[in-house]
Amino acid sequence: MGAAAPVPDRRVSSFPCLDGVRALAAMTVIAYHLCMSILIIEPGALPPVIVRHIAALDRFGVAIFFMLSGFLLYRPYALAQLRGRPGPRPVDFWIRRGARIMPGYWFALAGAMVLGVAVFTRPSAGDYLTAIALLQNYRAYGVLSFGLVVAWTLVIEVAFYALMPGFAALSARLGRPGDRSAVLRGNVIVLVAMIVIGVATRYVALFVVGASSAPSRTWFPISNLNMWLPAYLDMFALGMGLAVVCAWRETGGGVPRVVTAFAKRPWAAWSVVGVMIVALGRAGMPEVPGVLVIGPTTLFIRDELSILAALAFVLPGAIPGPRPGGIRRLLAWKPIVLFGTVAFGVYLWQLPIIDVLDRRRDDIPALDAAWPFTVVAVVITILAAYVSYVGVEFPARNLAMRVTGRPPAPRAGRWSWLRIDTSEHTEGIGRFVWHDEPVLAGERGIVALALIGSVALAVALPAIRELLA
């Protein structure tokens, strides 16, 4: 497996399912926030069991987004290391990532301020600059006090972007680019370290820092530890791990048996997701409007199960199988892809729109019922996200591509800028296969064991939680 051995190239030209994965993740986020509003608008509209399970999805969608970032952004570095070539230039990488996040975020922040729903408890120039620069997680009470509440995840994303080239450089230094075995070893060391740091930081944040008093300083209070990048490194690392697996296979290597078992059987991966969501609902989530008042044991269990469920959810969209199958075709279905394309805008706009509608309930009686409120909120959110994408996000990304020397996405026709092109997904799903994937012994046993273990965990979780509490 040394550098001199020639290897076939099975490069994946596109990932037509990942926008669909992103779409479903965005749906869980908007479902969570709508559920919180419905509990106030019409308390009896949702059965307690539904509330409990929706409340448990809080970290599931976030974990999916972070894993997608880890996978898509790290794969070029992994491929470069395995081929003995230089990876993307850090400056170019940062320009493209800044263009991906900041213009859409600034547009949503400005919109929320115009609508009067941006959160600024004591407005000042410093507070506005904190929100504009995505620094709110590093200030005392900043997560809920500066601009868009949902932007706390963007602060973590930006921190990951800043360090991403460093992670790649560290893994390359621990290995030897071009020497496949050494590259794999270097990446495994870095990814395992990231996973350990993520789990350990979350544990400390919940069980040690979580019980401490109010913040003692304005900037970087330790009470905000659970909102900083180290507490989420494992989510990014698992996505990066899928990128290494994919790159290893693309450059002629094999795929670990456990990954192959689920890549060939997306139904099994998503069955694990379903069981994990049921388990999350049995992890002690509350059934009353105070959904966010949750103990540290329940929060820790919620986070770990959400990460496992997110990994199983993302895997079929990131790793090809011998045939597309129904689940992958669903993820590449045009309506799902369209929603996934504007999912970033949906994520940014859904809570401001919900807040605006909530304030208008006295003026518009129809909004004082759960389902009309939900329909109007979803429709307006999608429209705002579409405007954000075609008017702000896509042009900014194209500009960044030009600046960094990459060809921008082509658009033909006078009104083509209003259209979202999904042809790459609908046409690419048939090519998202590895026809020569070998049949490995024990794959069915791995799937059966995972399903049985998931069900057993869901059944036993209340008792486990009591032991840990």
Q: What is the pLDDT of residues 75-133, one digit of tens each?
A: 999 999 998 888 899 999 999 999 999 999 999 999 999 998 988 877 788 888 999 99
Mean pLDDT (whole number) for 180-186? 91
User: Does residue 121 sit within a domain?
Assistant: yes
User: Does residue 256 sit within a domain?
Assistant: yes
Q: Which domain holds residue 130?
A: 18-468
pLDDT at 170 over 60: yes
E strands, 90-224, in order: 119-120, 146-147
Say what the pLDDT of residue 410 is.
Answer: 64
pLDDT at 9 over 60: no
pLDDT at 287 over 70: no
Q: How far apart are CA 200 and CA 304, in angstroms?
A: 12
- Please write the tens of the pLDDT for every residue from 236-281: 999 999 999 999 998 888 888 899 899 999 999 999 999 988 888 7
Say what the pLDDT of residue 284 is.
Answer: 60
Q: How far apart are CA 459 and CA 468, in angstroms?
A: 16
Kindly indicate the confidence band of residue 134, based on its pLDDT and cuts at 50, 70 and 90: very high
**If you average pLDDT over every residue of the chain, what do you get?**
86
Predicted model pTM:
0.91
Whether residue 251 contacts residue 181, with contact meaning beta carbons closer than 8 Å, is answered with no
- Please write the tens of the pLDDT for every residue from 199-246: 999 999 988 887 555 666 678 888 889 899 999 999 999 999 999 999
Q: How far apart are CA 4 and CA 328, in angstroms?
A: 36
Q: How far apart are CA 29 and CA 372, in angstroms?
A: 19
Say what the pLDDT of residue 400 is.
Answer: 92
Q: Identify which of 54, 17, 96 has the alpha carbon closest to the alpha carbon of residue 280.
A: 54
Say what the pLDDT of residue 469 is.
Answer: 63
Type and span of the H or E element at 164:
helix 152-174
Q: What percent of the chain has pLDDT over 70?
A: 90
pLDDT at 404 over 80: yes
Mean pLDDT (whole number) for 406-428? 67
User: Does residue 442 sit within a domain?
Assistant: yes
Say what the pLDDT of residue 381 is.
Answer: 96
Mean pLDDT (whole number) for 1-24? 71
User: Does residue 371 sit within a domain?
Assistant: yes
Domain count, the chain: 1
Say what the pLDDT of residue 193 is.
Answer: 97
pLDDT at 138 over 70: yes
If one compares 440 and 347, the residue with the highest pLDDT of the two is 347
User: Does residue 324 sit within a domain?
Assistant: yes
User: Does residue 234 sit within a domain?
Assistant: yes
User: Does residue 203 sit within a domain?
Assistant: yes
| CA torsion, ordered 212, 216, 218, 222, to nearest 10 deg | -40
User: Does residue 32 sit within a domain?
Assistant: yes
pLDDT at 69 over 90: yes
Whether residue 17 contacts residue 266, with contact meaning beta carbons closer than 8 Å, is answered with no
Kindly indicate the confidence band of residue 293, based on its pLDDT and cuts at 50, 70 and 90: low
Kindly indicate the confidence band of residue 415, based on its pLDDT and cuts at 50, 70 and 90: low
Q: How far apart are CA 64 and CA 340, in angstroms?
A: 13
